[in-house]
Structure 1
């Protein structure tokens, strides 16, 4: 049951970041990375994270992944708009002939 909850949380985080990138809302897209950095700061303060390779690299990797998911949503929206414009141009060209 715990694994199912973890998987659902991961899916929700990915969905929220992708959606915020898709709609282009920078503020909504920055909420989860800021919360993530807050958790990392809290864990460092409490001593749960040490200064070894894993505990230094993983927070950077997690933050980078959240930002890349946001950018992926933005790219999806840009590609969709580009395809729509190409369809419109093709339709205009065919109507002129």
Structure 2
């Protein structure tokens, strides 16, 4: 049995709503899905996106160079380079994934 961590992708379906009176946006999680991949390769991300994402979805990633492949599944890619480590938990886009 390998002790090496498997590459994983987490999908979080959210809806945005305004919080009055401050007009801040809150993201409510509707559903989450965790998938194990063969590796963080563009071909694997493309295959995964075509299987699991609805065309027109917006994908936020940590900027890893394989994630632009979601565009080939007609999705929008928004890279948010985090630098890794503890700083990622401060990013609102990743907060539910890091709890």
Q: What range is the shorter-chain TM-score in?
A: under 0.3
Task: Output the TM-score relative to the length of structure 1.
Answer: 0.22
Pick the structure with greater CA Rg. Answer: 1
Quick one: higher RCO (CA 8 Å, sep 6+), 1 or 2?
1
| Structure that is richer in strand per residue | 2
Name the TM-score, length of structure 2 as normaliser. 0.22
